[in-house]
Amino acid sequence: MTDEAVAGARGPASRSARSVGATATSPAVSLSGVHMSYGRRPVLRGVSCSFPAGAISVVLGGSGSGKSTVLKLIGGLIKASAGRIDVAGRNVVGLRESELYVVRRSLGMMFQNGALLDSMSVFDNLAFPLREHSDLGRDEITARVHESLAAVGLEDVDDLLPRELSGGMVKRVALARALVGHPEILLVDEPFSGLDPLSTKLIEALLVRINRQHGMTMIVVSHHIPSTMRMADRIVLLLPDTVVEGAPAELRSSEDVRVRHFLTEETDDSEAVLAKAAEFEQGERRPERRGGAGAHP
Amino acid sequence: MNEAVTRIGRAANGITEELGRLAAFAGRILLVTLRPPLRFGEFWAELFKIGVLSILIICVSGVAVGMVLSLQGYTTLVRFGAENSLGAVVGLSLIRELGPVLTALLVTGRAGSSVTAEIGTMKATEQLDGLRMMAIDPVDYVVRPKAWAMAVAMPLLSAMFIVSAIGGGYFVGVHLMGIDGGTYMSSMENSVDFENDVAGSLLKAAVFGVIVALISTYRGHQAQPTSAGVSAATTSTVVLASVTVLVFDYILTALWGV
């Protein structure tokens, strides 16, 4: 994908976010020939792709295609069986856990279900990494926590426990926690899953705003095609036998029918589901009619 | 025949590997213990959950065990005209054997299973991965305080169990069976030796504490991240820790006479 394609997809505001010099053109994260299996089931077979610095990259793919696995591999939460994964200039494959902690200081991750520590309040969930890794005083930590909560549009939630939050609020608190350490790279796993349309748009807007304000590299795993097409600078589509990457516009006009089908699958699926529902309804009525005919010959 | 040998070999390999992983896990706990921060706050919180919240069940069970032990002991000793030795029988059997073992079994059921379930649930809900992504070692932050609290709480709870049981035994022997209170206590005092019996009892309880701590935290940490996985890990903690405690009880008694 060309830089122009990225810039074109983002509009004027995004160009300012990408104007971070050399980092805007070099990949912040790249995978090269990565293999990964869960037990005997191979998930990734020689996957190679890259995620440009300062851009929002969305990883798409079918269920079980290894989207979340890609995020976990980048964060070093699981080990690739072969290949190379460069994160902020370091190959994380083969690093020991203690070495990975150094790399993870530059990463933030928003988990699909939040992964908030359920024994801690919202405030403590956000303050915890700061207390662990910085010399900030109590007032500075409080300010940073509130700054992060404000960035995701939350206030007066300090004392709430995770179980007292709605699904959308959990996602936003998880995003705030991922941001509180000012990471260079933000990994986001299924930010829109289980959310209503309004919350989906809210999270989408938050991600785009944070990216544009801070030029933060974002790697988002999502199933939500409309949001992806709106927010992505770059799409990485995991297909069973290959990886296709490029700007949304490029992928929409791809000659590969699978790519075009995937990006429009939401519409197709809706129609297919409606058609199947109609068939089912007709099928349900037929026996009734037959039964009725038998009863009244 | 060959197939049977192969199966036995595989099972032996599996057990050896598991023991190796358990030893490595224990090594990690020791390693993070030597590194700052000391996490006293988390330790005290866990000591409260594992120790203080177990006091009631330990004391009630202790009183019940002491009462039944005294009743059975009196029924047996009176046949030989040796009922005045009831204090010695109750005291020695509680201090040397029943106190540490029954406490370990009770704590395994109440607190060990809860530790496994808590760590397993944290794994299933990606909280442990969340900690790792924040560059915080879950063994340091989650496992270490729980393991040390369990190891420290066990001898203290065992002592409470023994004291409660001696009280229960005193009530039955003196107030119900009519043995003289002074005879009951002096019989116990004369037969119980601090170094061999009391210190040995505390040592036994400490060893059981380490066993239960290690198994419960390890099982939680290794649990499959599903509800069935957490459930299986919890069950296996109770079974494995209970059996291991009983086996080690024999080994400690046979080797060191405690």
Using a CB-CB distance cutoff of 8 angstroms, which residues of chain B are in contact with residue A111? 126, 129-130
Q: Do A101 and B126 touch (CB under 8 A)?
A: no
At A253 the pLDDT is 85
Helix (H, G, I), strand (E, B) or coil at A42: strand
Q: Quick one: what percent of chain B has pLDDT higher than 70?
A: 100
What's the pTM? 0.84
Mutation target for A interface from B125, B134, B136, B141: give the one with most A CBs within 10 A: B134
At A39 the pLDDT is 84
- pLDDT-derived band at B166 (thresholds 50, 70, 90) equals very high
Domain map (residue ranges) of chain B: 1-35, 40-256
| Pairwise pLDDT comparison (A296 vs B93), residue with the higher score | B93
Is the Cα dihedral A93, A91, A35, A5 positive or negative? positive
Mutation target for B interface from A68, A92, A112, A132: give the one with most B CBs within 10 A: A132
At A271 the pLDDT is 54
**Mean pLDDT of all residues in B160-174:** 96
Is the Cα dihedral B14, B20, B26, B28 positive or negative? negative
At B38 the pLDDT is 85
At A290 the pLDDT is 39
At B32 the pLDDT is 93
Predicted complex: ipTM over 0.85: no
**Mean pLDDT of all residues in B134-149:** 96
At A200 the pLDDT is 87
> Which of A102, A104, A133 shows the shortest C-beta gap to B133?
A104
Among 3.40.1390.10, 3.90.226.10, 3.40.50.300, 3.30.2010.10, name the CATH number for the domain at A3-254: 3.40.50.300
Shortest Cα–Cα distance, A288 to chain B (Å): 42
Chain B contact present for A97, CB below 8 A: yes
Q: Do B134 and A129 touch (CB under 8 A)?
A: yes
At B251 the pLDDT is 94
Tens-place pLDDT, residues B190-214: 999 998 899 999 999 999 999 999 9
At A160 the pLDDT is 96
At B47 the pLDDT is 97
List of chain A residues with pLDDT < 70:
1-25, 265-297
E strands along A148-276, which residues? 185-189, 217-221, 234-238, 243-246
Residue B2 main-chain phi, psi, to 5 deg = -60, -40
Q: For residue A202, how many C-alpha atoms fall within 13 Å in the half-sphere facing its CB?
A: 16
Chain A contact present for B27, CB below 8 A: no
Residues 93-152 of B with CB under 8 A from A: 125-127, 129-137
At A25 the pLDDT is 52
> Which residues have CB under 8 Å from A128's CB, separation 6+?
A117, A120, B134, B136
At B109 the pLDDT is 96
At A276 the pLDDT is 56
B223: which 2 tokens? 């649990």
- Find the residue in B nearest to A126 (Cα): B134
Using a CB-CB distance cutoff of 8 angstroms, which residues of chain B are in contact with residue A101? 135, 137
| Pairwise pLDDT comparison (B42 vs A1), residue with the higher score | B42
At A12 the pLDDT is 33
At A189 the pLDDT is 94
DSSP class per residue in B90-157: HHHHIIIIIHHHHHHHHHIIIIIHHHHHHHHHHHHTTHHHHHHHTT--HIIIIIHHHHHHHHHHHHHH
At B45 the pLDDT is 95
- Say if CB A172 and CB A203 are below 8 A apart: yes
Q: Quick one: what percent of chain B has pLDDT higher than 90?
A: 93
Q: For residue B171, how many C-alpha atoms fall within 13 Å in the half-sphere facing its CB?
A: 13
Using a CB-CB distance cutoff of 8 angstroms, which residues of chain A are in contact with residue B125? 113, 115, 118
At A2 the pLDDT is 36
Q: Do A77 and B136 touch (CB under 8 A)?
A: no
Q: Do B127 and A108 touch (CB under 8 A)?
A: no
At A283 the pLDDT is 57
Mutation target for B interface from A68, A72, A99, A109: give the one with most B CBs within 10 A: A109
Residue A183 main-chain phi, psi, to 5 deg = -75, 160
